[in-house]
Amino acid sequence: MKELKYQAVTPKEYQKVTPEIFFKQRRRFLKLGAGSLVAALSVESLLADIVNKTDKLHYRPMSDKEMLKINRNVIFPTPEELATSYNNFYEFGYSKSDPKNKAGSLKTSPWSISIEGEVQKPFVIDVEELITKMTLVERIYRFRCVEAWSMVIPWIGFELREFINFAKPTKEAKYIRFTTLYDPKQFPMQGGFLGLGMGSSFLDFPYKEGLRIDEARNPLSMLAVGMYKKRLLPQNGAPIRLVVPWKYGYKMIKSINKIEFLKKQPVSTWEAENSREYGFYGNVDPEVSHPRWSQSSERVIGQRGRVPTLYLNGYAKEVEHLYAGLDRKKLY
């Protein structure tokens, strides 16, 4: 596979998309004493770790100064080891360790994506060719699962709006639906319980997700092809997945091989499974509880304790306008 060429996040962009809480925590850390040798050493070693991982990629890396200024302390992404071993990918099983242990069966190259529905001309494109036509950027985003845990992930991908312009939807296109590859040979759970093609699986595969076209056109929405400066691993949705940081993780569909432009709002997989608990929007909102648990706080993976959940996962400034006049209680 070709190496990824992308533009790294600039300090200005980082500040724009990274919620205040990180900066507050960073300031607290600095107040505690940037002089603390132990802390400084651990920061340095973490930085070195991140910088080393950039070796094979051709992009503008953040300078050490930028990294120290912006990415100190809790601003660090979730350790890569955790983000690639604690996953939800029900095509491989229900346990958080199933995706890492079983996703080896997923063949991610060659991988074609079919673009259909309300477009001037439907087409099929290989993901490698698509990547050459898009501008790859790095985006460090908060990630909040509906199960009330969270991570911080450094994604590499392209803005969904760039893809939409490339796909040339008609004026009738008001929604986009994404579908995961359907292949029970590669995704054991698609074949039903026990993967024997018998009985019904608990989700109606293939996994499907949707966005309103204006949500999709928001500059924060992206299609990711990498994380932690490398290609996505199968367990994280290789070779291409959706990233919408103000929504719960279940919206961020993995291993996409079909993208349709639609006139009407589609029904997503979790909504079809249980519409009382999961909606079409899946917006992160600390004030709208899940019927079975509160969403007011979250467990940060890799850290101790819980932190308050932020409205729209901290991205309200960028996306709140999309929901003007709508009832927040209906946007779960």
Cα–Cα distance for residue pair 54/76, rounded to 1 Å: 16
Cα–Cα distance for residue pair 204/186, rounded to 1 Å: 16
The Cα-based distances of 234 to 101, 192, 228 in angstroms read 10, 20, 14
Nearer to ligand MTE, 26 or 86 (CB): 86
Looking from the CA of 21 toward its CB, the CA atoms found within 13 Å total 13
252 is in an annotated binding site: yes
Candidates 48-56, 253-261, 289-297, 311-319: pick the segment binding ligand MTE (CB under 6 A).
253-261
Residue from 6, 158, 250, 278 that binds ligand MTE (CB under 6 A)? 250
Is 71 a binding residue for ligand MTE by CB under 6 A? The answer is no
Is 188 a binding residue for ligand MTE by CB under 6 A? The answer is no
Tell me which residues in 194-213 interact with ligand MTE (CB under 6 A): 207
Is 254 a binding residue for ligand MTE by CB under 6 A? The answer is yes
Is 76 a binding residue for ligand MTE by CB under 6 A? The answer is no
Is 252 a binding residue for ligand MTE by CB under 6 A? The answer is yes
Question: Do residues 237 and 106 touch, judged by C-beta distance below 8 A?
Answer: no
Is 80 a binding residue for ligand MTE by CB under 6 A? The answer is no
Beta bridge partners of 106: none
Give the list of residues 6+ apart from residue 196 with CB closer than 8 angstroms, or none. none
Is 102 a binding residue for ligand MTE by CB under 6 A? The answer is no
The vertex-43 CA angle with 37 and 47, nearest 5°, equals 140
- The nearest distance, CB 22 to ligand MTE, in angstroms, is 19
Nearer to ligand MTE, 229 or 254 (CB): 254
87 is in an annotated binding site: yes
Cα–Cα distance for residue pair 310/322, rounded to 1 Å: 17
Dihedral of the CA atoms 26, 31, 33, 39 (nearest 10)? -20
Strand stretches in 130-227, DSSP E: 137-144, 149-159, 175-180, 208-212, 222-227
Is 298 a binding residue for ligand MTE by CB under 6 A? The answer is no
Residue from 57, 75, 137, 145 that binds ligand MTE (CB under 6 A)? 145
Residues at the binding site for Mo-molybdopterin are: 87, 90-91, 145, 180, 236, 241, 252-254
Contact footprint for ligand MTE (CB under 6 A) = 87-91, 145, 180, 207, 236, 249-250, 252-255
